[in-house]
Structure 1
Amino acid sequence: MQSKNWIGGEWVTPAGREVVVQNPSQLSEEVGVVRLSDTSHVRQAEQAARQAFSHWAGMTGAARGEVLYRIAAALEKAAGEVAELASREMGKPIGEMRGEVTRGVNLLRYYAAEGVRSVGSVIPSAEPDVLQYTRRVPLGVVAVITPWNFPVAIPIWKIAPALICGNTVIWKPAENASLTAVRVAEIFAEAQLPPGVLNLVIGKGSEIGQALVEEIQPDAVSFTGSTATGRQIAAACAARNIKYQTEMGGKNAAVVLRDADLEKTVPLVLSGAFRSAGQKCTATSRIIVEREVCESFAELLRKAVAACKAGPALDPGAYLGPVASHAQYSKVSEYAAMAEREADLVAQGVLLTSPDEGYYVKPMVVSGVTEDHALVQEEVFGPLAVLLPADGFDHAVTLCNRTVYGLSASLFTRDLSRAHRFLDLAQAGMVRVNQETAGVEYQAPFGGMKLSSSHTREQGQAALDFYSAVKTCAIKHTL
């Protein structure tokens, strides 16, 4: 498979450098070739999106919704193929990837239904004979910059609400999710999305992403990725008065109280920490346990992690696959080496295959480091978690909040009073009780506090607020 751009309803193969995509599960397997674009393609995509905007925005919401329903049906039909391609390209286990594609289908249908729902409200006027109301209107051309760790769901949860609101889109996916992006764009094309409504440009973030933010004039930018890049995008957009949305890093905590059902808690903590090889912004990377049950919990965790197997993404016996790329492998390996030098090993999983065959990292839980240690404060984005003892509920909450991030947090308890207190006190945008940190339903708002987010929200009804502007209208019907 070879990557290509989709601009103005036409497929264009860039003339830039070729990058061979290797399967991170089996490095000897070539998945395809990515051809990198230059900034001229960004300008072409902006022109196509501008030309398509008036027609798309002028369609009724119901008509736009019908298009999204067609895309959902096409994606559902191709679900197995898309999931396998994504697993081979970026290493997510096939079971998780199938679930992600299903989430994409559900997101499309959810936003398709918005085409026939209210887009405003009537507001009483202080004057007689005046009808005053609001209505939501599209922004224009939206730039969407997406990561590799959710190559189907994250693009769709940005693109679908942008489209139903009447915007046109320029989509720049992560380089190591580009082949999957092409296949998703093909599905949009097969469903007869009008030309120019969605435009796909493949390329380096440092070049194509920068051009989207600084060289052309989008009406909004939605970004998911690293905190450092997100802050740069936010600054550039603010300087140009462009509406922006950034979803960034996390250092999420699972808090286990002494009254929790430990047998049921361990699998949920394990899933939050190690599914997708820990490559989720919502992954559990800090496990805070009340001291009275810390050893009991650690023993159960030790047994569970020992049975946790890392292997090829298409192997149904693998609990987690490889990390996604050589760069990711190098970064996570550095943190793993730090953990081996400076922390105490609590638990470690096993590999189903030779580490030389792919970018495999054994899942690991460590302890014995202070709350200021790099392993506790820095985002690893890999299958590595730190166990921290807490001297009671209040100390556990303090440890939970002791981070620059604020994306997700979980509490495990049977105490309803403490559950509600935690929901109030945890400084995170998504707080859960007796559920893992990783995972929010598609119809619910997604986003964080502190350095995890620009304080807007994705998914659910909240996404419609970002991808539209509110216009206040008033008409005096007698003079």
Structure 2
Amino acid sequence: MGNSHHNFVDGEWIAAETGETFENVNPADATRAVEAAVAAADGWETTPGPERGRILQAASERLAARKNELTEALIREEGKARPEAAGEVQRAVDIFAYYGAKARDFRGTVKAASSPDTTLYTVQEPMGVAALITPWNYPIAIPAWKLAPALATGNAVVFKPATNAPDVARMLVECLDDAGLPPGVVNMVTGPGSVVGSVFTEHEGVDAVSFTGSTSVGLAVGAAAQEAGKRVQLEMGGKNPTVVMPSADLERAVDIVASGAFGVTGQACTACSRAIVHEDVYDEFLEALVVAAESITVGPGLDGADMGPQVSADELQGTLEYIDIARGEGATLLTGGSRLTGAPYDNGHFVEPTVFADASPEMRISCEEVFGPVLAVLPVGDFEEAMEVANDVEFGLSASIVTQELTEANRFVDEIEAGVAKVNDKTTGLELHVPFGGQKASSSETYREQGDAGLEFYTLSKTVYMNY
């Protein structure tokens, strides 16, 4: 991060307890963070909603004022292309403004009582302390959409950003601190999940745990948190399809698939990694898709490239291994498939946008999450087969169809096993004021994030009978 003061506990930036960097954090740092949050929780809960909202709005304004700085930090740290990084920062700005407004009137509802002498109403109360564990691929947007509703509803927070991208998270917490957030209400501790995450999920002072990341880690986090009696929210992996039918505008279909597959270097849980294409338009679609993939400029985000590097050597290696697996299983490599070398690639983890044709549903490239710019294209004979293939994976996060047939569009929405269904749109890209979450192994299927639904996870409902 460029300095040793990477933990924010009880309103102060501190070095790790041991003086060591986050690769070897003392669990005492995480414990101190929880204790600070517990101590601050009651005061923040009793802070009037309009005042909480004012602070969140002020944080939004500070994020907006630092947008260029945040964008460049995100590019350097995570590798996104500049338009993608700027868009993510703007999303964080908008999220805090949205939940700042929500905090002003979020309290409960009044209901009609059976007795004329009774006032019947509900009150939404904060859980207490929420532990937030976030990934590296959206290192400011995902923390924002967890932090903002947690704070809007009166919870104190302990927060662990991903070790691959902690600096932009630090800057986000700085904006909250500058906006007037009381000490202890937000506490950030960097470090590995085996140390920080374990304390956050098991400490008796934590009431709720919200996690976004891989399915394997998420299931372990969820099991530990549930065993410790916490409320749990998990958003995990995806293997997201776009179905292309004969009635589709093929130029638009290619743009939708390419944007969904290669945007943010394929490093999104909602990225399109399967194109399920009707055989009547299969060859024409593939020809245009290869042209689109080969037109993408790959390079450093600060240099204006369309697609940046993978975040780490490990992520790149995982992508290259899946490319080798796909070749070995008999998929046809149409374009890409190699690591990029030479200037300006030698100092980063760059891979070509990659398209495999003639994939079958049982191939690993068709059913396992790759998390890189690799697309499997599967031919199908009709709509029924397309839906069968789309649903025949363990994940169910985001899915889309490109069609001009109203019946196909409506059947797709009804039959797809996914938390997000899109018609004539890419699988990536989410509105902040509607619920987001997955099905099957993509989610705990408990509470949704974003919009009004994002407030529910962080609150308990109390029903009041006021007789007079």
Q: How many Å apart are 1:348 and its aligned residue?
A: 2.7
| Paired residues of 1:2 and 1:179 also in contact (CA < 8 A) | no
- Cα pair distance change 1:17/1:338, threshold 3 Å: farther
Match of 2:393 in 1: 403
Match of 2:313 in 1: 326
Q: Distance in 1 between matches of 2:18 and 2:275?
A: 45
Letter in 1 for 2:15: T
SS of alignment partner, residue 177 of structure 1: coil
Alignment of 1:370-389 (within 5 A): 370-389=360-379
Match of 1:164 in 2: 152
Could you list the per-position Cα deviations for residues 137-181 of structure 1 after superposition, in whole angstroms to 9, with x for gaps in the alignment?
A: 101000000000000000000000000000000000000111221
Q: Distance in 1 between matches of 2:137 and 2:343?
A: 22
| Paired residues of 1:13 and 1:35 also in contact (CA < 8 A) | no
- Cα pair distance change 1:118/1:64, threshold 3 Å: closer
| Paired residues of 1:15 and 1:35 also in contact (CA < 8 A) | no
From 261, 285, 290, the counterpart of 1:302: 290
Match of 1:416 in 2: 406
Q: CA RMSD in A?
A: 1.6
Q: Distance in 2 between matches of 1:196 and 1:106?
A: 24
Q: Does 1:428 align with 2:418?
A: yes
Match of 1:459 in 2: 450
Q: Distance in 2 between matches of 1:254 and 1:119?
A: 40
Consecutive unaligned residues of structure 1, counting only runs of 5 or more, are 20-33
Match of 1:5 in 2: 7
Q: How many Å apart are 1:369 and its aligned residue?
A: 3.1
Alignment of 1:89-168 (within 5 A): 89-168=77-156
- Size of the aligned set, in residue pairs, is 462
Q: Does 1:214 align with 2:215?
A: no
From 1, 16, 23, the counterpart of 1:14: 16
SS of alignment partner, residue 372 of structure 2: coil
SS of alignment partner, residue 104 of structure 1: helix
Match of 2:67 in 1: 79
Match of 1:438 in 2: 428
Q: Distance in 2 between matches of 1:331 and 1:16?
A: 33
| Paired residues of 1:411 and 1:419 also in contact (CA < 8 A) | yes
SS of alignment partner, residue 475 of structure 1: strand
Q: Distance in 2 between matches of 1:241 and 1:282?
A: 30
Q: How many Å apart are 1:123 and its aligned residue?
A: 2.2
Which stretch has the larger CA shift, 265-274 or 282-291? Answer: 265-274
SS of alignment partner, residue 131 of structure 2: strand
Match of 1:340 in 2: 327
Q: How many Å apart are 1:422 and its aligned residue?
A: 0.6
From 196, 202, 222, the counterpart of 2:190: 202
Letter in 2 for 1:287: A
Match of 1:474 in 2: 465
| Paired residues of 2:222 and 2:232 also in contact (CA < 8 A) | yes
Letter in 2 for 1:392: D
Alignment of 1:273-292 (within 5 A): 273-292=261-280
Could you list the per-position Cα deviations for residues 366-387 of structure 1 after superposition, in whole angstroms to 9, with x for gaps in the alignment?
A: 0233211111111000010100
Q: Distance in 1 between matches of 2:291 and 2:337?
A: 9
- Cα pair distance change 1:36/1:106, threshold 3 Å: farther
Letter in 2 for 1:5: N
SS of alignment partner, residue 303 of structure 2: coil
Could you list the per-position Cα deviations for residues 346-391 of structure 1 after superposition, in whole angstroms to 9, with x for gaps in the alignment?
A: 2338959454321011110102332111111110000101000011
Match of 1:235 in 2: 223
Could you list the per-position Cα deviations for residues 424-461 of structure 1 after superposition, in whole angstroms to 9, with x for gaps in the alignment?
A: 11110000001000111111111000110111210000
SS of alignment partner, residue 292 of structure 1: coil
SS of alignment partner, residue 466 of structure 2: strand
Which stretch has the larger CA shift, 325-334 or 377-386? Answer: 325-334
Match of 1:192 in 2: 180
Match of 2:359 in 1: 369
Q: How many Å apart are 1:56 and its aligned residue?
A: 0.8
Match of 1:23 in 2: none
Letter in 2 for 1:425: E
Letter in 2 for 1:387: V
| Paired residues of 1:14 and 1:35 also in contact (CA < 8 A) | no
Q: TM-score, normalised by structure 2?
A: 0.96
- Cα pair distance change 1:172/1:323, threshold 3 Å: same
Match of 1:24 in 2: none
Q: How many Å apart are 1:110 and its aligned residue?
A: 0.4
Q: Percent identity?
A: 42
Q: Distance in 1 between matches of 2:402 and 2:222?
A: 35
Letter in 1 for 2:436: F
Q: Does 1:266 align with 2:254?
A: yes
Q: Distance in 2 between matches of 1:103 and 1:308?
A: 24
SS of alignment partner, residue 175 of structure 1: coil
Consecutive unaligned residues of structure 2, counting only runs of 5 or more, are none
| Paired residues of 1:161 and 1:467 also in contact (CA < 8 A) | yes
Q: TM-score, normalised by structure 1?
A: 0.94
Q: How many Å apart are 1:345 and its aligned residue?
A: 1.1
Letter in 1 for 2:320: S
Letter in 2 for 1:212: F
SS of alignment partner, residue 187 of structure 1: helix
Q: How many Å apart are 1:36 and its aligned residue?
A: 4.5
Which stretch has the larger CA shift, 328-337 or 350-359? Answer: 350-359
